[in-house]
Structure formats: structure tokens, C-alpha cells
Chain A
């Protein structure tokens, strides 16, 4: 399956923001915007909901904490209790440092994997790259060309009128 996108390439981020605003006003759905650095305030034009990554971190971190505490308790009290210097088998306070480290480890790694999966980032992907300038100095608005009803000619003109220095079609597999 291949998807077609109409790209409007801007040199200036303010022109791009202005164009995104205008497109939104004329009810043209923007597929995505590609920028060399995070440009704030675009979410309203793309209808982006707040990310749920913090929830992932909370769940992952809590899981790590509980698993680490249970494991240390199981090892030290149930599976193979060893008397170390007369300390109680359940030396709960001594289990906290390792439990904390595992909390952080789980929280960080699972959040990173969730991010990579959700954003479709992996060593095998390169098909999502729209424009090679978008990682350096270009600001690219991509509109999805879904079917014949999409008026490519007129929309291209609108993009050019809004200040796009280059308007092109890109097919993505």
C-alpha cells in the first residue's frame, strides 16, 4: 500500500506556523509537520492529544518497585535465608536502595521502548522520512492525498500562496 502526500516546504518557521493556521481555518486536514527542532504551538493545528507516556512511566516504575521488593524478600526470607551479622531475614530498609534503582531502570527503559513503538522508530524504518531538509533547516507541512476528491492543484497553489518555497508530491510505501 502506498500513500501519497503533498508537501509544502517552508524556509521560515513563522511562515509555516502561519500556513498551518490558515490551512486549519480552511478545514484542510494536516497529516503532519516535519521540523528540525520542536516548534511549540503546532499541536492545535494537528489535533494532537496529550501524550500518555507519563502513565507508562508510572505503571512501569511501580511494577519495577513491587517486583524488586518482592524478589528481595523472596530471596532473603523464603528461598534461601542466610543469617548475615544477626540482621533480620526481612531487612526491609536494606532492600530500598536496590528497589529504587530497579524502579528507575524499569521506568526509563519501558518508557523509552513505549516511545519508540508509538513513534514507529526502529533501525529498520526509513520510509517515514518525508523531506531530507526537515532535519536541518526546512519546515515541511504534509497533507495526505487520500483519493481523487483531493484537489491537488488548488491545494498546491494555496500552499505556495502561503509562502511555501517548494511544493511537491511524495509517495511513501
Chain B
């Protein structure tokens, strides 16, 4: 049997691998006891998580007066962090759903980790509004159920839309991710050495046999879920943006918000995917699966969405001037030249200027620089939300109400704690579940190659 290899198309897996070797590469890492590096990483992140839990306990028991909010600035770090984490989630769905619909085969080796990131990021996001309620033990009041208060919900409120959007997004993403895991869990089950492992994996793999009749439906199911998740992911950040856009605060009350937020979400999410995957491929020896061309493709997405975000910044300014509304004009001039100008220009530099380096192929192929730029984008996108939320509020209509915001140690520790939660869950994921979709990678193993068969 001779093999024909394309010279024009690069293979998606850069080393010749058999099917067994693919399973070995991905699963051997989680089949042997954890290494020192993993133990160190999880210790650090779990410590941060523990600190976060203590601080959350403190602010819930004391009250959210422990935050730096004041009468003028009623939303700041809490909602900034909420939008930041929700936004990060979007890249996972983009990779797993939208790229599936577009039949972008390179997604196969990164979609599992990116989707895990989505689910974890949405969990981190959920913490903030729940704490902000002040009485988180009554959080279930946001769902419409027959209750002794005999009250329903106000379905005209964008905050309620958010409840439905985020909870639907979380549950659909989690199910989509789990469905994708089933064939790989079955592979783990059939390789399991100890009876306990085998028993657990038999339960969670739902009796998957690899039947073609099932595969046939499975592929359709994935396509349907991708088709549902695609408008869903757009709706989520659209609705998050409506938390602001349906208000009458200058700087928030803008029709550009939904597309602007969705572009920003994809931008920040891809930055976080890059940050995580550059580390993951190195630590777990996935260099042949998450190749330089994967990183390059993600850099291009970052470049494109970064410019979309830049366009939105420009459009906002133009419309503020063109509207002739003195309050709109004031808010935008104040953003760029007022007391929070440092935050505004940090945002512009990180999100609009720094990603321009990705025009150069040499930059896209230099992992260290890509990693550093991805960190800058993460920072820039955090500042974007801070700028939108805080600068629009801190100059109220009445100059006597003007105020500044500074976070308290409680808010800072909660934010660090949410990173603790994020990384703890991510490290647990890479430790116990296959971080690469094995069965999907097997389908693209022979991409750009053709085995010559004589029948």
C-alpha cells in the first residue's frame, strides 16, 4: 500500500500516528499518577480558590457594603468580572459549534479544552451576580416557579433575560461537551486497568459501543447541537449587552452594544484559549495535535475580532458626536481624557494596537510573543468592561453626585479567587478527562494524505 501526501495542504496532526498511538498520547497522561508540576499547579490554584471561598463567606455574612461601591457607582468590579468571565466562555462555543458548522477540521484537537474552558468560565461568571444579590440563599427566586409569595417575575427586565440566557447557555454547553466526551470515555473504559475505574467509566460512558447506527445519529446530534449553540452563544452576549443598552445611561444606551459585545466576547475568549493551550500543549506534550498552524489560525481570529472591537470603539465615538447629545459627547470625552483615561488607553492599546503585531507571520509563529500578546488581550478586555461600566456611572447627571471608584481588598480577593476556581477546575479537567477529542482527531488523522488501495 503506497501513500500519497499532499504538498499543498498541511496535515492537521503533524506526526504520523496510528489510531492506538493517538489514544496513547492523549490518555497515557491521565492514566499514570499525577506529576509534580500538576501537583504544584493545583496546590497554588486551590489555595487561591480557598481564599476566594473565605472572602465570599465574609462578604455574604457581612453584606456587600464590604465592596467599594457608592451611591453613584452601583456597579463596578462585580459586573466587570461577570461580563469578563462570560465573554471568555464564548470562544469555546465558537470553536466547537460555529467551526463545526463551517466544517473547519482543525477545530478537532482544540475543541474539547476550549469547551471545558467555556463551562468553567460561565461558572466563574455566575458567582458575581449571585453574590451581588446580597442574599444568595434566595437565588432561586430568579426562576419562575409557583411560590407562596404568589409573585411571578418581570419578564420585561434584561436582568431576567440574563438569567435565562446564562443558565441555558451553561446547561446546553455542558450537555454538548458531555456528548462529545462519551466516545472518549468509552475508550478510557476499555483501557481501564482497575475494576473501580472500569466501573465508574462504564457508568459515565453510558454503554457506548461504537455502533455505526449510533455514530450515524451521533453525528447528526452534534450538528443539531452546534446549530442550536451558534445562535445561543450570540444571544447570550447580546442579552448581557442589553443589561446596559436598555438603560438610559449615556455610554450604555447604544444600539451598537450587542454586536460590539459579541465581537469582544469572541476576542477575549480566543485570547484565553491561546493562553491556556500554549501552556497545555507544552506541559502535556500535545505539540503534534495542537500544532503551530492551530496557534496561527487562532492568532488570525484574534486579529480580526480585535479590529472589530476597534471599529466598535471608533463607531461609539462617532455616534456620540453625531447624535448631538451633550451627555453622550461628555461621556465619551470623559472616557478618553477624564480621570479614567488611563484605563481607557490601556484598553485601546491592549485590544486595538498590540494585536496588530499578528499581521506578521513571524509573530504568529513565535509562541512566546503569542502568549504575551494573549495576556495583553485578556487584560485589555477586562479593562474594556471596567471602562464601559465605571466611566459611564462615575459622572452622574448631577455634578454633586460625581464620584470615583476604588476596589476594596474584598473585591480584589474575590476576583483572584475566581481565577483560583477557574484554574482549579481546568487542572482537574486536564487531569481526569481527555483534553483532546480522541475520536474526532482520529477522523482527521489522514487529512491531506491518501492511502492507495487496490481492490
Nearest-Cβ distance from residue B43 to partner chain A, whole angstroms = 33
What band does the interface of chain B fall in when counting residues whose beta carbon is under 8 Å from A?
35 or more
Residues of the B chain whose Cβ atoms lie less than 8 Å from the Cβ of A104: 168, 172, 228-229, 231-232, 235
Residues of the A chain whose Cβ atoms lie less than 8 Å from the Cβ of B216: 38, 43, 48, 51
Question: Could you tell me the distance between the alpha carbons of A92 and B164 in the complex, rounded to whole angstroms?
Answer: 17
Question: Could you tell me the distance between the alpha carbons of A61 and B23 in the complex, rounded to whole angstroms?
Answer: 37
Residues of the B chain whose Cβ atoms lie less than 8 Å from the Cβ of A107: 224, 228
| Contact A112–B218 (Cβ < 8 Å) | no
Given contact pairs A115-B221, A116-B206, A127-B207, A121 touches B164 in the complex (Cβ within 8 A) = no
* Chain A-chain B contacts (Cβ-Cβ < 8 Å), number: 191
Residues of the A chain whose Cβ atoms lie less than 8 Å from the Cβ of B218: 38, 115, 119
Question: Could you tell me the distance between the alpha carbons of A53 and B217 in the complex, rounded to whole angstroms?
Answer: 7
Nearest-Cβ distance from residue A54 to partner chain B, whole angstroms = 6
| Contact B235–A101 (Cβ < 8 Å) | yes
Nearest-Cβ distance from residue A169 to partner chain B, whole angstroms = 17
Residues of the A chain whose Cβ atoms lie less than 8 Å from the Cβ of B9: none
| Contact B443–A37 (Cβ < 8 Å) | yes
Residues of the B chain whose Cβ atoms lie less than 8 Å from the Cβ of A37: 183, 215, 439-440, 442-443
* Prevailing SS type, chain B contact patch: helix
Quick one: which of A97, A100, A105, A125 contacts B207, CB cutoff 8 A?
A: A125
Does B19 lie at the interface of the complex (its beta carbon under 8 Å from any beta carbon of A)? yes
Residues of the B chain whose Cβ atoms lie less than 8 Å from the Cβ of A148: none
Nearest-Cβ distance from residue B218 to partner chain A, whole angstroms = 7
| Contact A123–B455 (Cβ < 8 Å) | no
Given contact pairs A75-B153, A98-B161, A34 touches B212 in the complex (Cβ within 8 A) = yes
Residues of the B chain whose Cβ atoms lie less than 8 Å from the Cβ of A95: 155
Does A46 lie at the interface of the complex (its beta carbon under 8 Å from any beta carbon of B)? yes
Query: B14-41: which residues lie under 8 A (CB-CB) from chain A?
Result: 18-20, 23
Q: Which residue of B lies closest to A82 (CB)?
A: B154
| Contact B213–A121 (Cβ < 8 Å) | no
Query: B223-261: which residues lie under 8 A (CB-CB) from chain A?
Result: 224-225, 228-229, 231-232, 235, 239, 242
Does A132 lie at the interface of the complex (its beta carbon under 8 Å from any beta carbon of B)? yes
| Contact A80–B152 (Cβ < 8 Å) | yes
Q: Which residue of A lies closest to B23 (CB)?
A: A136
Q: Which residue of B lies closest to A15 (CB)?
A: B453
Does B268 lie at the interface of the complex (its beta carbon under 8 Å from any beta carbon of A)? no
Q: Which of B61-69, B184-192, B320-328, B392-400 contacts A (4 or more CB under 8 A)?
A: B184-192
Does B175 lie at the interface of the complex (its beta carbon under 8 Å from any beta carbon of A)? yes
Does A156 lie at the interface of the complex (its beta carbon under 8 Å from any beta carbon of B)? no
| Contact B213–A135 (Cβ < 8 Å) | no
Nearest-Cβ distance from residue B366 to partner chain A, whole angstroms = 34
| Contact B152–A79 (Cβ < 8 Å) | yes
Contact sample, A vs B, 18 pairs, CB 8 Å cutoff: A18-B455, A33-B212, A36-B19, A43-B212, A43-B216, A46-B213, A75-B153, A91-B155, A98-B160, A102-B168, A105-B168, A105-B172, A108-B176, A112-B179, A119-B214, A134-B190, A135-B208, A136-B23
Binding site for B on A (CB under 8 A): 14, 18, 32-39, 42-43, 46, 48, 51, 53-54, 57, 61, 71-72, 75-76, 79-80, 82, 84, 87, 91, 94-95, 97-98, 100-102, 104-105, 107-109, 111-112, 115-116, 118-130, 132-137, 140
Could you list 20 further interchain pairs (A-B, Cβ under 8 angstroms) beyond the known A107-B224, A119-B213, A123-B203? A18-B455, A33-B212, A35-B212, A42-B212, A46-B213, A84-B154, A102-B164, A104-B168, A104-B229, A104-B232, A105-B171, A108-B172, A112-B175, A112-B225, A119-B214, A121-B206, A122-B207, A124-B207, A127-B207, A136-B190
